[in-house]
């Protein structure tokens, strides 16, 4: 049995039947919040991501995929053959005690296994079932397999990303998977809250398609309201200027001049005319984007990026650099926000993982104090907790 360590979901039991990334990310988020998450994996091979690499780390005879490590912290693992009597009996015992089930099988797979949503809620009426699919559980393409890059393309995100319309690119992380996991976890929290009022669980559904369309934001309303078809245009904002990545003498910096007041402040700092024809308002600067970029880069041409960032900050202009990931994880601001956690892995020993992006605080007469989960479980070995979980089920049944 794993040590509990607090958090808002302490006492909530999550059975994670999912694999790959979308469902496991949702399960990890719930674990970060304090839930006990039991990951059910296939015997022998386990989750698909255990074989996704390189990179692999650890001893030659027991390599560990860094992909798996990225989305399975704060979980326990049990290997079950769900087509066997024993596997089903153990899963049934877990379902009877669970608060949440997470699954991301293709539409119909859970039904064929005998675990349709109807069957799950008949078995445990308080259960919240999160189901993540590629393109939705119903509709003309409801049974279609979903993989992140395909979803990025089908949901239009790739058409917005890249240097231009003829150079579309996927986002550098599997964002459709991650977003569906995030939306799914949010839906679970809402369903748990509603259960407090009704006493009943429910089914929460999302998909890679839905989650990606859910973050179209202003690009979506450009199409649905204004009738425009947005296209990729590189590192500059389609509705604000100057806002993007600008070349300097030795590299580049990013600035966000998001209103006309900031534009006037920017011009004062760099000796530019804020009322120059065609540049006085944001709408004009967007319409004359290439000229705006040229004006800014001319002002930056003889300056180093480091000096520019100092001056931009002193002038109150939002600015920044583009960091590599090694620079990000070495940044003291990242450490101050507790975005790195240290765990002890049974094979790898002490390892450092990216941490959760939420913190929780309480306030009493003595002031504010943090209540965020402080101790974390390393991503588990396949069936690493199987014996303990079976023992716990036996104790509960006794």
Domains of the chain, CATH where assigned = 13-216+353-397 (3.40.50.10540), 243-320 (3.30.1540.10)
196 CB-near residues (< 8 Å, 6+ apart): none
Closest by CA position to 80, among listed 115, 53, 52, 119 = 115
Contact present, 252 and 305 (Cβ < 8 Å): yes
Percent of the chain with pLDDT over 90: 93
Over residues 48-70, the pLDDT tens digits come to 999 999 999 999 999 999 999 99
Rounded Cα distance, 243 and 245, in Å: 7
How far from chain centre, in Å, is Cα 47?
A: 19
Q: Residue 2's pLDDT band (boundaries 50, 70, 90)?
A: very low
- Would you list the DSSP string of 146-210? --HHHHHHHTTTGGGSBSSTTSB---SS-HHHHHHHHHHHHHHHHHHHHHHHHS---EEEEEHHH
Instruction: Look up residue 258 and give its DSSP letter.
Output: -
pLDDT higher than threshold 70 for residue 5: no
385 is catalytic: no
Contact present, 24 and 103 (Cβ < 8 Å): no
Q: Which of 16, 177, 383, 385 is catalytic?
A: 177
pLDDT higher than threshold 90 for residue 152: yes
Rounded Cα distance, 13 and 18, in Å: 15
pLDDT higher than threshold 50 for residue 245: yes
Predicted pLDDT of residue 64 = 97
């Amino acid at each position: 049995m794993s040590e509990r360590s607090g958090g808002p979901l302490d006492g909530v039991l999550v059975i994670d039947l999912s694999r790959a990334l979308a469902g496991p990310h949702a399960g990890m988020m719930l674990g970060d919040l304090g839930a006990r998450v039991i990951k059910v994996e296939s015997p022998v091979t386990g989750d698909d991501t255990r074989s996704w690499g390189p990179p692999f780390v650890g001893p030659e005879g027991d390599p560990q995929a860094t992909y798996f490590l990225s989305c399975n912290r704060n979980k326990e693992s049990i290997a079950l053959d769900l087509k066997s009597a024993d596997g089903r009996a153990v899963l049934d015992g877990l379902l009877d005690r669970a608060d949440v089930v997470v699954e991301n099988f293709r539409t119909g797979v859970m039904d064929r296994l005998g675990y349709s949503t109807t069957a799950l809620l008949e078995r445990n009426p308080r259960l919240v079932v999160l189901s993540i699919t590629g393109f939705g559980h119903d509709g003309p393409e409801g049974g279609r397999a979903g993989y992140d890059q395909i979803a990025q393309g089908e949901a239009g995100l790739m058409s917005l990303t890249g240097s231009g319309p003829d150079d579309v690119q996927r986002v550098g992380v599997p964002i459709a998977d991650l977003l569906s996991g995030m939306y799914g976890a949010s839906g679970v929290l809402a369903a748990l809250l509603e259960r407090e009022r009704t006493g009943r669980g429910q089914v929460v559904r999302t998909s890679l398609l839905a989650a990606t369309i859910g973050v179209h934001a202003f690009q979506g309303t450009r199409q649905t309201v204004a009738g425009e078809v947005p296209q990729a245009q590189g590192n500059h904002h389609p509705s604000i200027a100057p806002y993007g990545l600008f070349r300097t003498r030795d590299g580049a910096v990013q600035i966000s001049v998001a209103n006309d007041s900031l534009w006037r402040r920017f011009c004062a700092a760099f000796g530019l005319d804020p009322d120059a024809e065609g540049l006085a308002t944001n709408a004009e600067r967007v319409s004359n984007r290439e000229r705006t970029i040229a004006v800014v880069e001319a002002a930056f041409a003889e300056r180093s990026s480091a000096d520019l960032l100092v001056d931009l900050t002193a002038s109150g202009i939002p600015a920044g650099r583009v960091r590599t990931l090694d620079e990000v994880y070495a940044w003291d601001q990242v450490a101050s926000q507790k975005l790195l956690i240290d765990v002890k892995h049974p094979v790898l020993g002490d390892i450092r993982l990216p941490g959760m992006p939420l913190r929780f605080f309480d306030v009493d007469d003595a002031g504010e104090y943090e209540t965020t989960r402080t101790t974390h479980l390393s991503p588990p070995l396949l069936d690493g907790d199987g014996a303990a979980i079976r023992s716990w089920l036996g104790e509960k049944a006794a």
